[in-house]
Homo-oligomer: A and B are copies of this chain.
Amino acid sequence: MLKVECDIKDIFELTNSKLGSEGLLLVSMDLDGKYNAMTIGWGLIGRVWGDPIFMVAVRPTRYTHRLIEKTNDFTVNVPNDGMEEIVNYCGTVSGRDYDKFKEIGLTAEKGERVKSPIISECIAHYECKVIGKSKVIPDLLSSEVKRRYYSSENYHTLYFGRILSTIKEK
């Protein structure tokens, strides 16, 4: 699949649409080069601190959290139609127990500007370097959000990734 650099505007619609349906694949890597893909249904795109930003939210219990904390970068990968089963799988099992790329037949391709790889089979990609973090603060949530998403105290870390590269299928 031939791919080219593009503008954020060229892939926002696709990205936001997949966020609201089957999800996107967040890929991160540890310092030994072990990488993992996690399915995400949340994400924000725009500008903060003068930079183009992709914000992702990861609970501290997640394997991905440990990886991002190590290398401080990540990629967001937009799956192609027909990859629903793969996306579902990556949201079901933990990278602690499974090499998801191997198990489900995904190909890791070297990121151009970050350590974390991109997923070859996906049709669009964001390469991001974390320049700021925050946390979900339980006392500042609406009662509905708190009830629906935070029965445990596993509050998301918010990673603000500076978008270094956006790539799409040619």
Contacts and interface: CB of A to CB of B under 8 A. Distances in A.
A141 B134 CA distance: 9
Interface string A2-34: 000000110011011101100000000000000
B8 A16 contact: yes
A43 B140 CA distance: 19
Interface string A100-137: 00000000000000000000000000000011111111
Interface residues of A, number: 39
Contact of A47 (B8, B13, B16, B132): B16
A19 B41 contact: no
Contact of A42 (B41, B46, B142, B148): B46
A52 to B, nearest CB: 8
B42 A19 contact: no
14 contacts: A12-B16, A20-B52, A42-B49, A44-B48, A131-B142, A131-B144, A132-B140, A132-B142, A133-B137, A133-B141, A134-B136, A134-B140, A134-B158, A135-B137
